[in-house]
Amino acid sequence: MTDQASKETSKEGSKEDNMKPSVILSKPLYLIAAMVLVIVFVAVAAGYPNAYAVSIDGEEVALVESPEVAEEVLEEIILDLGKGREVALGADIGYKKIHSKDETASNGELSKIFKEHLNFLCEAAAVTVDGEPKVWVEDEETAERVIERIRKCFVPEGEIELVRVDFEEKVESQKGRVNAEKIVDAAAAEELLRNGKVKVTSHIIEEGDSLWTIARANNTRVKHILEANPGLSEDSILSLGQEVKLTKTEPMVNVIAEYNKTVVKEIPKETKYRDDGNLQSGKTKVIKKGEDGEKEVVYHVVTTNGVNISAEPVSKKVTKEPVAELVAKGTKKTTRANYTVASRSSSGGGGGSLSWPTRGSISSRYGYRGREFHGAIDIAARSGTPITAAAGGTVTTAGWGGGYGNQIVINHGGGMSTRYAHCSALNVKVGQKVSQGQVIGRVGATGRATGAHLHFEVMVNGAKKNPINYLR
């Protein structure tokens, strides 16, 4: 009888369909039908595959084929995250055998679920900034090493006398337990502390670059570039090969270094001129060769994250006295000297010792141009026209100078220097000695220039003077 009923119901398949006829059955039959139902249910359920419900702290999180499968996945995560360290899960994992027709989780899904629900805690050490853990590393020793590396990386190499190097913040190492996922290696920790969570992009200065062109090419603004480069201003002279950051970094720590640095500087020789009636006007001849001197200047330098905040000379010592050069200056009148074109167009030469740096007419005089003061003379000339040194001296600048474009500054000694701006080519290097009349570059229109011309400045003790008064 039971066998028959069982066969019938399994054929019918659905439990609900069985309920309807049972209602009208008499009592003993009703009981039998109920028993049959239970048996059918167990039989059908038993037909489902075995599975295990995984629970974390009592909460069911996944269905797996077997506890072994789950344990294997867990082991893999621990090995991967812990990298050989001891890992504490900080939670209870339970398995319950059930029958279910639901699909079990794949290894990948299971790994994700475990990572979401579990803390893989490891013994580690944090670098704390003002008491707050900022980055986590393997151990205290690594944390200390990271801190020391950051502290030291802003102290320049070479012969300096270190006064102090300190963090602006309270930076310490601290042991603790953290999710293994948060632990990074020393290099990554250093990078994070120094730059924050920003990917740093930068631009290397090439010929023709200015802050304006860099900003335009990189879809940013000069203002933002200046923010990203403390120490840089709109008037800063950019040199070829210099790195300019395009992204603002947010360092978690700031290192202040204070040190004394000795710099050997040249004392340019003085050039004395003596009129010589036997020599043609505009010509010079060295009578007695001079020699540059040398001095040691000690600067007290303060930097924040390697950027100079101040550099004050605190002492200097002359190690080699310069020897003045004696030069004969021709006074014999000639029909036409080489550089008289510009001279004639000027308001009369000042009879000074400087020679004209190029040929051409003066397109802009020294003095006020509307509201703007023009501390130079502009000599209009075709691009590529040679530029010559107005007097002998040492090149102190040769490179990109923002609005000045490619520029050269020559120190002539005795507090006098000259500037040649907007050049299309530079033929000299910083530190190079040049003699009067030597070709140093070519006329151009680099920087803030509307057309090809030479912007020629004469500076005496740093003050811009009217070049006309110094040109002969």
Give the start-end residues of each E strand in 82-148.
87-88, 93-99, 121-129, 132-137
- Ranked by CB distance to Zn ion, the top (closest) residue is 455
Residue 307's closest CA among 221, 416, 233, 393? 233
At its nearest, how many Å lie between Zn ion and the CB of residue 450?
A: 10
Beta strands across the sheet bearing 93-99: 59-64, 50-56, 93-99
Nearer to Zn ion, 138 or 378 (CB): 378
At its nearest, how many Å lie between Zn ion and the CB of residue 449?
A: 8
At its nearest, how many Å lie between Zn ion and the CB of residue 458?
A: 13
At its nearest, how many Å lie between Zn ion and the CB of residue 455?
A: 3
Tell which phi-psi region holds residue 57, choosing left (phi > 0), alpha (psi between -120 and 50) or beta. Answer: left
Nearer to Zn ion, 242 or 418 (CB): 418
CA R_g for the chain: 42
Binding of Zn ion by 457 (CB under 5 A):
no
Is 148 buried (19+), middle (13-18) or exposed (0-12) by CB count in 10 A? exposed
Binding to Zn ion by CB under 5 A, coded x per residue (else -) over 165-184, reads --------------------
Binding of Zn ion by 465 (CB under 5 A):
no
The SS3 of residue 72 is: helix
At its nearest, how many Å lie between Zn ion and the CB of residue 277?
A: 36
Binding to Zn ion by CB under 5 A, coded x per residue (else -) over 360-399, reads ----------------x-x---------------------
State the sign of the Cα–Cα–Cα–Cα dihedral 185, 187, 190, 194.
Answer: negative
Interface region with Zn ion, contact rule CB under 5 A, candidates 95-103, 283-291, 305-313, 454-462: 454-462
The SS3 of residue 60 is: strand
At its nearest, how many Å lie between Zn ion and the CB of residue 343?
A: 18
Instruction: Name the token pair of 330.
Output: 């021709």
The helix (H) or strand (E) run that includes residue 58 is: none
Interface region with Zn ion, contact rule CB under 5 A, candidates 101-109, 203-211, 439-447, 449-457: 449-457
- Of the candidate residues 359, 442, 455, 465, the single one contacting Zn ion (CB under 5 A): 455
At its nearest, how many Å lie between Zn ion and the CB of residue 410?
A: 17
Binding of Zn ion by 422 (CB under 5 A):
no
Q: How far apart are CA 33 and CA 15, in angstroms?
A: 11
Interface with Zn ion by CB under 5 A: which residues?
376, 378, 455
